[in-house]
Amino acid sequence: MSTLPPCPNCNSEYTYEDGLMLICPECAHEWSAAASAHTAGDDDKVIKDAVGNTLQDGDTITVIKDLKVKGSSLVVKVGTKVKGIRLVDGDHDIDCKIDGIGAMKLKSEFVRKV
Ligand SMILES: [Zn+2]
């Protein structure tokens, strides 16, 4: 079950989904689910590094563990600095580009904010 946000117009909790729209039965207000999820902010996942720092897009991190690059013999060495990370959804929640390796995804638990 997903929890729908309350109506931004009258705060009613009885909102329901109709396709991509959310509808409030009490005041008949209709709005876009995607836009509301974004502004409501309570859906935003906070991604933290190995020591509990909150990570943000554009942060610089270092890798705290040797990480094998899937599908290759390359290894991202511990201490590798990665600039300009981008947070993404999924098991590997950091999208980045590493010098000498290229674009790859990392797990936030194996990095540390610089
Ligand atoms: Zn309403």
Rounded to whole angstroms, the maximal C-alpha distance in the chain is: 60
Q: Express each pLDDT in 4-59 by its tens digit.
A: 889 999 999 999 999 889 999 999 999 987 764 555 444 567 899 999 999 999 99
How many Å from the N-terminal Cα to the C-terminal Cα in the chain? 38
Q: Are 57 and 85 in contact (CB under 8 A)?
A: yes
Measured between alpha carbons, how far is 32 from 15 in angstroms, rounded to an integer? 12
Cα(2) to ligand 1 centroid in Å equals 19
For the chain, give the percent of residues with pLDDT over 90.
69
Measured between alpha carbons, how far is 88 from 98 in angstroms, rounded to an integer? 16
Rounded to two decimals, the pTM is 0.60
Cα(15) to ligand 1 centroid in Å equals 8
Cα(68) to ligand 1 centroid in Å equals 51
Q: Return all residues near 98 (Cβ < 8 A) that are at least 6 apart.
A: 76, 80, 82, 104
Cα(81) to ligand 1 centroid in Å equals 49
Measured between alpha carbons, how far is 12 from 26 in angstroms, rounded to an integer? 7
